[in-house]
Structures are given as C-alpha cells and as structure tokens.
Amino acid sequence: MTWRDIIDEFPSVLTRRPAEPHVLERLEQLLGLALPGELNALLLESDGLLDEYGTDVVWSAERILSDNLAFRNDEEYRSLYLPFDYLIFFGDNGGGDQFAFTCRPPREEVFVWDHETDERNAVSPTLASFVRSALASDGEDWYR
C-alpha cells in the first residue's frame, strides 16, 4: 500500500507539494539522525499532511527541523526533561503533547511525549496506522 492509497481513504485530507530530497538530507544532517523510512516516504509524496480543518497531522520537513532544533537547544527544556536527541518529533496534538519516532535504536512505532509528565509512550505501531487513527478521530486525545 502506498501513501497515496492511505491519503485517498480520507477525501478531506489536505496534502502539500512533495518535499525536495535535498531538504530531507539537510534535515537529517542538522539533526544527526536518519529519518525513519515511512516518514521519509510520506514527505517525498506530500510535505506534511493536514486534516479537514487545516491542522497539521504530520508537519512539513521545515517544521520538523525547526521544532526539533528548538526542543534540543532550549535551556529550560534541558533542565526540565530527559534528552530529546534520539527523537524526531513530527506532529503534535495541539495541546502540548508531541508525536515522535525514536531513532536510537530505530523503531517503527510512533511515540507520544507528554509535556506534563515527560513520559514517552508508544501510541501506534507504524506511521501509516498513526495517520489513519489521527484522521479518523474526532478529538485531539484519540491516542489515550
């Protein structure tokens, strides 16, 4: 199954132009982590996904880069939370919780980082499953 097949399951999903490969290479270089295969493939098909209300389900490559750098370089976050260096955040719930892949070691599961407790818990076995669940949900806390 391709990303186009999954996207077509949700007629109201909004897509963007594909990310340029050099943008993804730059993202990986600056974060010092390889993008998970599913995320890389999705971004090459659509540079992020938005739900029917225009809310990001998967961020664009530029936002992935900027938000991850912000999380890693914020002194206050460093003093409050465990390190984020092995994570690649790619989305959020709009209320502070962030969705991520863990890249050391690389895993296919999608995790949620709870900004109140600093817990990192698996919420979906794959990005495809995550996207389907997020787009089919009626609320921001579908993963709980």
In the predicted model, what is the mean pLDDT of residues 78-82? 93
> Does the 3-136 domain belong in CATH 3.40.1580.10?
yes
What are the residues whose beta carbons fall under 8 Å from the beta carbon of 76, sequence distance 6 or more? none
What does the DSSP 8-state code read for residue 123? E
The residue extents of the domains of the chain are 3-136
Distance CA 2, CA 8 (A): 10
Task: Give the model's pLDDT for residue 54.
Answer: 87
pTM: 0.93
What is the average pLDDT across 113-122? 95
Could you tell me the pLDDT band of residue 81, with boundaries at 50, 70 and 90?
Answer: very high
Q: Give the pLDDT band (50/70/90) at residue 120.
A: very high
DSSP secondary structure, 37-96, as one string: HHHHHHHHH-SSEE-TTS-EEE--HHHHHHHHHHHHH-HHHHHHS---TTEEEEEE-SSS
The pLDDT, as a whole number, for residue 137 is: 85
